[in-house]
Chain A
Amino acid sequence: MENNKAIQVNDGIYWVGFGDPKAGFSNNPYLLIEGDSVVLFDPGSRLPEHFNIVKQKIESVIPIEKINYIVVHHQDPDLAASIPLFEDIIGVDNFEIISTLRTSLLLPYYGFRTEITTIEDGDILQLDNGRELMFITSPYLHFAGAHVSYDMKTKTLFSSDIFAAFSVDWHLYANENYIEAMRIFHEPYIAHKSAIESFANKIKDFEIKMICPQHGSIIKEEFIPKCVEALLNFEVGSWLI
């Protein structure tokens, strides 16, 4: 896999991340391009060795300055710390940072000055050519103000840490070992089953053809039911012993 080119994974959707065997979890920002609408999801780390890969991969398809939206699914540094570096290139207030109210309390501590556009559960961002991006809150998975995004055109769920995995032997697309890789990520990380059940209930009426998590591998349609079932059956809260 070339380390400087974005990989198209769906109609207008590019993976611009990197596997990270040293850390044991990949970091997966995604880019969505529809006409003049350019959305970057969970931009990633600010470590130069990480940021430069993501930057280069984005630039392999589009200039960074064209990004209009950076969607931040929660406030963790592995996905949000690079916002100021993107702001340096795009310019303050020349793009929108999209997140929930709860997350917007913490994000400015990374040191950017662009105003945050806050979303509520069920808000649908209108992109070019009628493409629509829905935001669904996912409370306590794993942060109180966490949310996910759903591309209504390709029926892709950008799930952030949900459906994420730890993996040294990493593949862009999930294989038969993925459930166990998901398990070691989720069981100690999610405090309570009710958060998973509430989220599963919220998304049950949506047709989902692809899941793009922020760590681990992309889950293709045929493997989604197994991953959802596994998620619902994980013995979460395992550090409470």
Chain B
Amino acid sequence: MADLNLDDKKLMDFINLMVTRGLGLYGQELMAKICYESGIALTDQNEIDWLEDNHIQAVNKLLVNYGSRNLPAKMTAIVLARQNQIPVPEELLTKRSSKKRRSIFKRFRRK
């Protein structure tokens, strides 16, 4: 994520969007916990603040913590990130959890 032009305002706006959607999905308490685990404070008034200096990393963690709990959350995290030009963490794009799977993939890059 490091070399992208993601200023603090854009990151804050994005977190606010994730939180707004997340309040619907997770409720206040769990949403606050997910934020805290990601290095972001969420107050009872649903205001956010940084708990970690590396803000890009915090957003990355938020996407992972938010998106790893269930499929609807994963789809929401991926689509919100893509709509807002925020890189989707690889952890959310793994094809399966089991090591038993053997399929190998390449990626086609569109022009």
Contacts and interface: CB of A to CB of B under 8 A. Distances in A.
Contact of B105 (A104, A105, A123, A205): A123
A192 B109 CA distance: 27
Contact of B103 (A96, A102, A120): A96
B33 interface: no
B100 interface: yes
Contacts of A98: 103
Interface stretch (A45-53, A78-86, A111-119, A164-172): A111-119
Given A69-B103, A122-B110, A123-B105, A101 B71 contact: yes
B96 A115 contact: yes
Contacts of A119: 95, 105
The residue among B75, B98, B105 with the most chain A CB atoms within 10 A of its own CB is B105
Interface of B: 71-72, 74-75, 78, 93, 95-98, 100-111
B64 to A, nearest CB: 15
Interface residues of A, number: 24
A115 B71 CA distance: 14
A125 B108 CA distance: 10
A93 B71 contact: no
A117 B96 contact: yes
Contact of A117 (B72, B101, B108, B109): B101
A68 B104 CA distance: 12
